[in-house]
Every structure is written in C-alpha cells, then in structure tokens.
Amino acid sequence: MREKAIFAGGCFWCMIKPFDTQPGIESVVAGYTGGHTENPTYEEVCSEKTGHTEAVEITFDPEVFPYDKLVDVYWQQTDPTDAGGQFVDRGSSYRPVIFYTSEEQRMIAEKSKADLEASGRFKNPIVTQIEKAGPFYKAEEYHQDFYKKRSEPL
C-alpha cells in the first residue's frame, strides 16, 4: 500500500532529487501547502500572503523505503535551526516543516526531531515544525522535476 509524505525545506527544486532517487519512491511532486488560499500560484506563494510553504509530496512504498528513512533523508537536506527560510531562500514560504499525514508519521517525526536535538550535532535549537498536513496543491508544470530539466547542478 502506498503512502504520502510531505516535507518543506526551502526551494522545492532542491528537495526533489534526494527523494526521487531512493528505492520505493513512486513520485515526488513540487507544490504548496500549509496556507489559507486554495490553488495558489507560485507568484502568490512568493508574495508571502497565502501562508503556504514550498513543499514536496512524496508517494512511497513503506515496505521498500519506510517513513523513518524519508525523515532521515529530509534532515540531511535542511538546516533545522533556521526558521526564517533555508540557505539563500528566505521567508516563511521556505520554512522547514514536516507535514504528517497520520498519527504514526507524527510520532516518527517527533522522535526523530528529539533524537536530532539530543545528538548535539547543532549548537542552536532545532526549529523545524511538525504540523498536520492539509491540502497540497501541485505547483506549475515547469517546477516539476526541475533538476532533470536543468543542465547545471543545483
């Protein structure tokens, strides 16, 4: 049975490839979630007025690549101590968030975050939010699989 996972961590262009290349991943879709506007556009999300974050929705086979491994990949792609965006991408639309789709995902994400905090790997507190998933809106087609369309590495 397939499941969905949703992660936000800066520009969604950079979030696709690390997941897309894993076994058991059926699809990774760039989009927007966490806001209050239905069917937002890229320009609306960038305006910081919709409340959405750029995110990826991953359809995966948990028998092949379990959710806890997806969370491990996620932590490697983000700076979990930066609530104001990620790397050069600044603003709330680039904030780091794990959006859970089930109580099991919430528990796995919370434990993983606590383990990361306890590891002492970061001097600053872990600020990545863990929030219940709401509607996910697929981004415009030119955002999909961007790393495959681009000739230079991101």
Query: Which residues are catalytic, by number?
Result: 11
Of 110, 121, 23, nearest in space to 81 by CA: 121
Strand partners for 53? 33
